[in-house]
Amino acid sequence: MEQKCSDLITILAPSKNEAENLKILIEEIETAMGAFSFELLIIDDGSTDNTLELVTTMAQSRSWLHCLSLSRSAGKSAAIREGIRRSTGSIIVTIDADGQNNPAYIPELVQALDNQGSAVGLIGGQRLKRSDNWLKRKASRIANKIRGSMLNDRTRDSGCGFLAIRRTAFESLPYFDGRHRFMAALVLREGYQIGHIDVIDRPRRYGESKYGIFDRGVKGTIDLLGVWWLLKRSPKPFSVEEIS
C-alpha cells in the first residue's frame, strides 16, 4: 500500500503489567512503521512488573520510543490522556499493549484517515475472529447492541481500542474515566465523520486481561447513560462567517 502520510504519527500504548508482551509489540511496531515518521509512547499504568525497566532499556537504541510512568493505576482513559499531553503527533494511534491488536494494520488506519480529508476525525478498527472466551464475546455483543441503539455511533465494535484519530478531534472531546469506550460517538458529536477498517484479532501470548467483564459493568452503564445525556445536550450545528 502506498505510504502518503507525511505527518508525525504518535502511537500510544497504555500498559498495565504487560512486560512479557511489550518487547514483541515494540519490535512489531518498529517493523510495521517502515518509512513513517512516528513516536511510540508506552504509558505504564501503575505496573508492578518490569515494564519500566524493559521499555527504558529498549529506548536506548530507539529514539522514537518513550515511556511514561503513572504513580498509580489510573485506568486506560487517563493513561491515554497523559500520553496525548506529552506527545507531538498530528495523528494519534491507540493500541492495546497485550499484543491482540496487530501493528501491521497501523499504516492502513493512518492512511485511511489521511486520505479521507479533514472532515473525517477517526478511523476505528473493528475486530474479526475475536480470540476472547465465549462469555466475553457474548457480553461484548450485547453491550455493542445496547450502545449502538442508544448512541447511534455507527460502530459495530466500540470495545476495540485500536484506532487512528486526528489530534484536533481528540483535543475537542470531553474527558471522563471510561471515555475510550465511546470515542466514535464523541467524535461524531463534534461534527466529524468517522470510518472503519476490519482487523483480525489475535490471541494473547502471555498473561490475562486486566479489565474483566464484571469489573466494568456498573461503571460502563453509568458512562453510557452519561454519554447519551451528553449527545442529547449537543448544540445544533451552525456556521461562522468572519465579517472583519
For the stretch 16-43, pLDDT in tens is 999 999 999 999 999 999 889 999 999 9
Q: Which pTM does this prediction carry? A: 0.86
Domain of 132 in residue numbering reads as 9-232
Lowest mean pLDDT among 60-69, 78-87, 226-235: 226-235
pLDDT on residue 76: 93
Residue 42 lies in a domain: yes
**Beta strands across the sheet bearing 91-94:** 65-70, 38-45, 9-15, 91-94, 163-166, 120-128, 193-200
pLDDT on residue 218: 65
Residue 1 lies in a domain: no
Is the pLDDT score of 233 beyond 80?
yes
Domain count, the chain: 1
Average pLDDT over residues 218-230: 84
User: Distance between CA atoms of 62 and 209, rounded to whole angstroms?
Assistant: 28
User: Distance between CA atoms of 153 and 160, rounded to whole angstroms?
Assistant: 14
Average pLDDT over residues 50-74: 96
Is the pLDDT score of 213 beyond 60?
no
Is the pLDDT score of 98 beyond 60?
yes
Q: How confident is the model at residue 222 (pLDDT cuts 50, 70, 90)?
A: confident
Is the pLDDT score of 214 beyond 50?
no
Residue 125 lies in a domain: yes
Summarize pLDDT for 135-183 with one digit per residue, the tens: 666 666 777 678 777 888 888 887 788 999 999 999 999 999 889 999 9
Average pLDDT over residues 49-77: 96
Is the pLDDT score of 210 beyond 80?
no
Residue 137 lies in a domain: yes
- DSSP H helices in the chain: 19-33, 51-59, 76-85, 106-115, 134-151, 167-170, 183-189, 217-232
pLDDT on residue 63: 96
Summarize pLDDT for 3-20 with one digit per residue, the tens: 556 689 999 999 999 999
In this structure, what CATH number is given to the domain that contains residue 133?
3.90.550.10
Q: Tell which wins on pLDDT, 232 or 199.
A: 199
Q: Tell which wins on pLDDT, 200 or 142.
A: 200
pLDDT on residue 130: 67
Is the pLDDT score of 234 beyond 90?
no
pLDDT on residue 209: 74
Please, what is the end-to-end C-alpha distance for the chain in angstroms? 45
Average pLDDT over residues 231-235: 84
Is the pLDDT score of 67 beyond 80?
yes
